[in-house]
């Protein structure tokens, strides 16, 4: 697939999880116009473990924000599970962000006054999941990802790697269609980064969780099954690895 700039991928089963069609995002600062994303067409398929990479300012985070409905395109369309986001109400988009998209940020974005358990459980409570089921799901996952016994610790009582594990748990507990991870290894050491990547690889391989990363980290790119290079807001190459 190398060199297939701005073509996207053919769908495997007729419907991609996320798709940008001719999407652009333009920011204006007075007389200055910045094309952060420029006429990009890109499909993310079920089970992808894909990384967006490229120089700073190439549009990686903006693409994630468009797919995650945190930003809207200046032109073009964004689809999530076949739905054109531009046709949906703000309330419906908020529900989609809550239920169908998991977010993992480089700064963790945990709620400081909440414990690891409460941070992980938070979105399930918003979804109205019964308390017994919430507890079973949260405790089961915390154990699976190596945080058993740490559920009562607050973020300032945990290491960076432990906080990022809580963030990953929070992102996948809702059983989203896709997890968007913006530089998830940026603030941890090499050993912790590899442990986090082991965890995400396991979730992808065993549970079929779809991941899309933005990254500068060679360790992430070495693990990715698909590499999408961005340059000046455009797709420079899109390569599916063996």
Measured CA to CA in angstroms, residue 69 lies from 36, 66, 78, 155 at distances of 16, 5, 9, 27
Which residue intervals of 145-234 are DSSP H helices?
160-173, 190-207, 218-223
Residue 91 has what pLDDT?
95
Question: 214 phi and psi, to 5 degrees?
Answer: -110, 135
Q: What's the Cα-to-Cα distance from 61 to each of 40, 131, 208, rounded to whole Å?
A: 14, 35, 23
At 161, give phi and psi (nearest 5°): -65, -40
Q: Which CATH superfamily is domain 18-240 in?
A: P-loop containing nucleotide triphosphate hydrolases (3.40.50.300)
Q: Is the dihedral of CA 70, 199, 211, 93 positive or negative?
A: negative
Residue 156, CB-side half-sphere exposure with 13 Å CA sphere: 4
pLDDT at 14: 55
Q: What percent of the chain lies above the pLDDT cut of 70? A: 94
pLDDT in tens, 84-134: 999 999 999 999 999 999 999 888 889 999 999 999 999 999 999 999 999
* pLDDT beyond 70 at 19: yes
Greatest Cα-to-Cα distance within the chain, rounded to the nearest angstrom: 56
- pLDDT average, residue stretch 29-42: 93
Residue with tokens 């998209």: 101
Given a cut of 50, is residue 13 above it in pLDDT?
Answer: no
Q: What pLDDT band is residue 145 in, cutting at 50, 70 and 90?
A: confident
Structural domain boundaries of the chain?
18-240
Q: Which of 36, 7, 64 is nearest to 211 (CA)?
A: 64
Q: What is the dihedral of CA 43, 44, 49, 55, to 10 degrees?
A: 50
Between CA 170 and CA 238 the distance in angstroms is: 29
Judging by DSSP bridges, how do beta strands 211-215 and 49-53 pair with one another?
Answer: parallel
- Is the per-residue pLDDT at 182 higher than 50? yes
Contacts of 214 (CB under 8 A, 6+ apart): 51, 52, 53, 60, 61, 63, 64, 181, 182, 183
The pLDDT of residue 11: 41
Predicted confidence (pLDDT) at residue 226 exceeds the cutoff of 80: yes
Percent of the chain with pLDDT over 90: 75
List the alpha helices (DSSP H) in 101-189.
116-126, 131-144, 160-173
Tokens (6 digits) for 97: 């962000």
Instruction: Report the alpha-carbon distance of residue 50 to residue 70 in Å, rounded.
Output: 20
């Amino acid at each position: 697939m190398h060199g297939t700039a701005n073509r996207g991928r053919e769908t495997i089963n007729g419907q991609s999880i996320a798709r940008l069609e001719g999407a652009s995002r333009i920011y204006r600062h007075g007389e200055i116009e910045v094309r952060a994303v420029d006429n990009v067409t890109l499909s993310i398929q079920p089970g992808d473990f894909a990384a967006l990479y490229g120089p700073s300012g190439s549009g990686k985070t903006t693409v994630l924000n468009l797919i995650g409905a945190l930003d809207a395109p200046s032109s073009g369309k964004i689809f999530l599970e076949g739905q054109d986001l531009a046709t949906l109400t703000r309330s419906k988009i908020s529900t989609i962000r809550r239920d169908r998209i998991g977010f993992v940020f480089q700064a963790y974005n945990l709620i400081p006054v909440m414990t690891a358990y409460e941070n992980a459980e938070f979105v399930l409570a918003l979804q109205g999941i019964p308390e017994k089921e919430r507890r079973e799901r949260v405790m089961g996952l915390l154990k699976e990802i190596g945080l058993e016994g740490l559920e009562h610790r607050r973020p300032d009582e945990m290491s960076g790697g432990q906080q990022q594990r809580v963030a990953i748990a929070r992102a996948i507990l809702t059983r989203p269609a896709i997890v968007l991870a913006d530089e998830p290894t940026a603030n941890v050491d090499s050993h912790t980064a590899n442990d986090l990547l082991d965890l995400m690889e396991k979730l992808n391989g065993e549970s079929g969780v779809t991941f899309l990363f933005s990254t500068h980290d060679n360790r992430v790119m070495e693990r990715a099954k698909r590499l999408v290079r961005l340059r000046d807001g455009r797709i420079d190459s899109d390569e599916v690895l063996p």
